[in-house]
A and B are shown apart, each in its own frame.
Chain A
Amino acid sequence: MSRLNGFPFPFTKDQYTYSNNSVPLDPAKTITVTADYKNELELIRKLLQKHHQRCFRSLPLSIESQWEIMLLLFNELASCNPESFTFQKMGGECLFQNHLLAEEEAFVFRDVSTIDLEPLDLVGRHVQEDLIIMGDRHDGLFLEAGQLCFPSNWSLAFVQGMEFKSIHNQVPGIQNDGFIDKVERFISKIQPGAVWERKNWSITVTNKLDTPLETYSVWGKHRQEVTCENAGDLIHLRVEVQRLFRLPMNHDVLFTIHTYLLQLNDLIQQESWLKSFYQNIKTLPEEIAEYKGISTYRTELLRFLENHMEKGRRGR
């Protein structure tokens, strides 16, 4: 049961459609520390070590916002989890202590000679979230820096420097009724102080968190292997808790992505989730199913879920 606790189940209705499902968060926090902290940070650091070009990108313009984010996140880690992290700032001199990993970072705010990595790259090695900086420019929002280890089939190298709408171009139906334009306007109007949260979901076959476009040939082929028998083991509901925050000092937007995976065998333990998941998969428009990579095994998955709903009914 413990896997179910705290899992951000994404479905609120019986039929899934794209919508601006962002809600203001109280308290306004951009990150969350979970029980998987140590394991995930180990993986994040391994990926950064091995594939730095794939997992970290930045444009020079992003440097001030990178510094701001480093202060923000160290502060947040320490104030929300004082037993695990400490942060002190005296003038420009800063000291961050990570008691979970027995590490510390000492640096002078805005002095690049005091750190070995770019600020976003450094602070990203202490949080479970992927971190993206959207530069707020006079002609739109642009992806200007990111530390991205757990993308769901997209590539940081590809989208670096791209404008918000272009990034979303290949999502089916996203232009309908000016949807993505409205989302962009919404983001560009976010004022300092508030954190907005939305959930996005997908399915990963196996429990792999790092599924970038670059290694599709490695993980994508498992989609062919799903059967009605093994679906419970192989299939994982993947939920991205995404948060948007206006950086007060530099006016750019921080976008954090916390990825959660839940194995189908665990999910079906909760009857309401089983039903809701089934309804949503069943009624998912074909183009979205195709886009999310579910079409290949949708029939097998539905049959698996039906069997379990049937069992539930008989069991009672």
Chain B
Amino acid sequence: MAYALQLTVKKIENETDTIKRFTFTSDEIPLPSFGAGAHVTLHLPMGRRQYSLVNNPLEMKNEYVIAVKKISDHNGGSGYLHECIGQGDNISVSSPDNFFPLRTEAKHHVFFAAGIGITPFVSMMAYLKTIGRSFELHYAASGERECAFHGHIQTHFPSKSTFYFMKREEKIAKLKKALQNRTMGTHIYLCGPPAFMDILLEHSHELRYPEKFIHEERFQPEVRIENPQPFFVNLVKTKKTFMVSSGQTLLNALHEIGIDVPYTCRMGVCGTCEVGIEEGDVLHCDSFLTEEEKVGKMLTCVSRGIGHIKLRL
């Protein structure tokens, strides 16, 4: 459960022509520790943006470091950070979450990065080196000049890293080759543009690589309803109809009419308050149900109907 920290921009450094490294710190509070692959969420005027931390989790000195590639003008998050944020500025940052953890049981870790997708692997490699585990990196970029952390990687993990600066076709062929003939217990991690991840993922399927040994970082925008709308609910078993107002959750509304749906967390993470959907569109806001489950179920503490829904209650 992330909470907001008020941090100061301690340093801004150029990593490449389009990528800057930002170091955040605080004189007042100890920053929560984090793990390899973790990210922080920056609260910017245009919304929240997630960035992977690149420091070594085991050697963190009250600093969070991220690397940001400029892909927009100052109206977008990356452009804003590049153009409008300076050393000494204050910034609100959510404490780290981790949706891309290392699987430490792996006999060997293989990282595939393209472009700015390198960032989570920078912390992962530092961590694995510190604890003495086996890994290798395959890193595609358009050229050495555009390649973030090139020098850093060459210095710290030279024998474990392969760079791919060649033409696209050749790059893809070589990266696919790097995926082949892996020994049992090898875990694969992918991070980069969707097209890059899809090609490698597809090839891993062709190779029948076990799915649980492949991990991808795809930042999922958090679903938060900014202005909840009222909706109507029909309960098909108990034959009741009622409205859920904009200030109310479905769970509350059910309790008000005496339907005792069990609950615990009221934050969409425990799965206790689920009900079956008979008909209608639902705005799912939980972080528990799988995509398949969302077709027939909803968690009433956070998710809402759109217009009119029918529930199996």
Contact = CB atoms under 8 A, between A and B. Distances in A.
Interface stretch (B65-73, B80-88, B192-200, B264-272): B264-272
Given A136-B101, A138-B212, A19 B269 contact: no
A139 B212 CA distance: 7
B305 interface: no
A19 B57 contact: no
Interface in B1-36: 1-3, 32-35
B57 A249 contact: yes
B104 A192 contact: no
Interface stretch (B90-98, B224-232, B233-241): B90-98
B213 interface: yes
Contacts of A185: 271, 288
Interface string B256-276: 000000101101011110000
B124 to A, nearest CB: 11
Interface string A9-50: 000000000011111100000000000000000000000000
A146 to B, nearest CB: 18
B33 A23 contact: no
A186 B95 CA distance: 20
Contacts of A20: 264, 270-272
Contacts of A222: none
Interface residues of A, number: 29
Interface centre among A186, A190, A247 (most CB of B within 10 A): A186
Contacts of B38: 192, 248
Contacts of B187: 138
Interface string A38-69: 00000000000000000000000100100010
A110 B98 CA distance: 23
B74 interface: no
Given A192-B38, A194-B1, A250 B269 contact: no
B105 interface: yes
B269 A110 contact: no
A192 B270 contact: no
B35 A137 contact: no
Contact of A192 (B98, B212, B269): B98
B134 interface: no
Contacts of A136: 101
A21 B38 CA distance: 28
A64 B287 CA distance: 28
B102 interface: yes
B131 interface: yes
In which size bucket is the chain B interface? 20 to 34
B103 interface: yes
Given A64-B131, A185-B288, A251-B98, A137 B105 contact: yes
Contacts of B272: 19-20
B34 A192 contact: yes
Interface string A129-156: 0000001111100000000000000000
B285 to A, nearest CB: 15
A224 to B, nearest CB: 37
Interface centre among A61, A138, A182 (most CB of B within 10 A): A138
Given A192-B35, A192-B38, A248-B33, A24 B262 contact: no
Given A19-B272, A185-B288, A193 B105 contact: no
Contacts of A192: 32, 34-35, 38, 95-98
Contacts of A68: 33
A169 interface: no
Given A21-B264, A192-B97, A249-B57, 4 more contacts: A20-B264, A135-B105, A139-B212, A248-B57
Interface of A: 19-24, 61, 64, 68, 110, 135-139, 182, 185-186, 189-194, 247-251
Interface of B: 1-3, 32-35, 38, 57-58, 95-98, 101-105, 131, 187, 212-213, 262, 264-265, 267, 269-272, 287-288
26 contacts: A20-B264, A20-B272, A21-B264, A61-B104, A61-B105, A64-B131, A138-B212, A139-B212, A182-B271, A186-B271, A186-B288, A189-B269, A189-B287, A190-B269, A191-B1, A192-B34, A192-B35, A192-B98, A193-B1, A193-B3, A193-B97, A247-B35, A248-B38, A248-B96, A249-B33, A250-B35
